[in-house]
Structure 1
Amino acid sequence: MEAGSLGHHMNEVRSGRRKFENAFQAIARMILEDDRMVEKVLVHGKSTYDFKIFRQGKKHVVGMFDEINSFVSYVKDAAEGGSSGEMAFVLVGEPGNGKTFFVEFLCSAYRRFLAKPENRRYTFNFINLDRIGTYGKIKTIQSQTFEDPMILAMNLFEDAEENKRYLSEYGGFTDTEIDHLYRNYRPLGACSDYILAEIREFTDGNLSQMMDFIRIVPVPLSETLGTLTGKYSAKDKITSSAVDLLGEESIQRLLHITDPNNPYRFDLRRGALARVAGGGIHFCDEIFKNKKDLVQVYLGVIQNRNIEIDGFKWPIDTLIIATSNNSEFNRFLAEKEEAPIVDRCRICYVAHNTDYKLQKELTSYAIGSEAKTTLTKEKLHQDPNLNYAASVAVVLTRLPRSEK
């Protein structure tokens, strides 16, 4: 079977060499797959879990035991089909206490995890579209939301039973395996569904001819492209708009597409969400600093797991994680009409570190690991107690004031 074909991909999934799972399941597997990476520890007299994936690397997460445990329980609940799957995870705390660092560390760990061949994400391209005749000079179209090829296989025909029969006959899946696959079922996005319907009509439903229009490709794993892990920072309230998240109508595409009803006229990759919609992590920095209509867009996306433009819908599979500082969050809470968005968020309050022993690691990050020199290149002596003294002093500033 040809390497880039849908049949080959289904065989790989069936044999376990490729995975079909949602974003929450992938992240939960990344954290919990290896029992040796989970350790029961005693912190301030309480037993808790420490997840070693967050302690790896030269510059890793320090402390944050409660916050990490809260995040892992949220992801695990969502992976098991719980209500967390319809919520965003929001870290709330004072500026400078490691919220953004934690999320960026998680994103880089997830990218490394997906870089392994057995964990790679795949999507599909529609090719040879010039043969259909309604796409001008556009020959290849990639799924705008990086939909999984198994989602395509589950939507190949209009009849659900026919799709199951296809998975059984051509994919070799058993009834139990098909039921398991359908737990992660979602419809195709508007443009993929529309293009597939055109291909189906063009080929008169001939399966082998339809396959000539489909190629399976790996999802590009790029931090700079914002695929699979992407960040959206709150911008100026005048210039920011929902376009930054959802995308907009593309003039360039309208020049090629002859059918004005084709949803591919919308360029979803112009927005931040579509690029992470295929099992990625969307990080919204300072979510409550955004203007109200943008926060409402987030509410719709978090709750419905859809990108919606002009009535067209593109289902997404994304972990949405956000940060906010206390003052912005409290201001937002004070507005009663904004209660629905808070209800759809799993709020995790992040405290400053008050353990002077853990602070030693954070202080060493601040001091730096390289040898210090003067401007004339003379070596500077670093007092061996510098770190300890600074750590204790810093921790004391974080404790509540007392007149005693």
Structure 2
Amino acid sequence: MARSSFLAYLSAATLTVAGELEFAESLSSEPQSQGNFWADLAEGQLYKNKDNPWISSVKVEGRAHYQAAWVDGNDTDGNGFSGDFEEFRRFRVGTEIDFLTAFEVSVGVNLVDDERYEDGDLSMGVEDYANAYLRLSVDKLFDLLFLDELEFTYGRQKVRVGYEAHRSSNELITVERSALSNRIRGEGSRRTGFLLGAEKDDFTLNLGVFSHDRSDFVGSWNHGHFYYGSLQWDLSKQWTLLIDGIINEGQGPDEALGYDWVTSLSVLYEKKRFGMSFNLAMGDNGDARNQVFDEDRQGAFYGAVFTPWCWILEDRLQLVGQAQYQISDESEGIRLADRYLIPFHDAGTAEVNNGRGDEHFSAYLGLNFHPWKGESRVMVGVQYDDLQTPDGNLDAITTFLAFRTSF
């Protein structure tokens, strides 16, 4: 959709919603739910009336994430290299509307594309859609005998594999997700699909099928598909277990995932000021039959991420650590995260084998400062990476500074 068309559509939609709200409020036999107007507004709640059968809630969501990094290391030839980067990591706005008792529509757009870390350009405006889906909550229409909740969702939505993917970017406690998390989420973690979600007591189940289509909006089903499953078990108030998996079908793993299949087991523990997560994953990159023609990038891969944290000052200052290890059967079966070592390969200023190797270890230590309650925070961190490649060993230290705010 062209940007001009999108803006015209957005303006028309805004006028339509405003008209619907006025009409719906006039039909409501009950007064609007009472609450703290300014507190609701600060959280993006523009309208809320659970007794209105037409439109019961209108919310807006936004996030702005900025970060900078300084890198110093030794490349696969043993030569030293260094560099610095800055980028607007995310700038996103969206809306969520609940209507007709059981329906929800959610649309979010990314308003920045900052590729300066890859020696590209910074552009502002509507770049693509973070999400665009319609959800039906069956449990709001009927009393379910065997389930607490039952939802059907269709459209562009996030595929969550591994604990870090289950957390919003607003909630991440490290500046970047681990390389393993980026790997198992797939080359594009937002795809068009159909998702069934069900809850019963301490269990949450999600099953879905997603298209490989890389469209920026809701995609077609002409490029193959993959199957997704996730099970969450809340063992207690402190312990949570997550099992996720993807099986790829269609025209090959490079269409959307970069692998043939993956499975992930995550354990989360939280109690008062302390917590930790542990994620264990394994998968298969595929082979020549699945269009992975480079033998060095085929075969199985394995990995684990351990992330402990504690609050030094409750709700204000958080200490975070992370240790990650991943390994593969083939010499280039794993890869670093895109930020910020691979850009040296793209720029030709250091030999990093495009971030590919067969064994990778990283360690992260950081502090998160929350100046006030909410999701806004300043993050500082230091990460060490060691990657074994066919051409030699790559090691580097990256220092991060980031600011996150959202509503």
Q: Which TM-score band applies after superposition, normalised by the shorter structure?
A: under 0.3
TM-score by length of 1: 0.21
Structure richer in helix, relative to its length: 1
Structure richer in strand, relative to its length: 2
TM-score by length of 2: 0.21
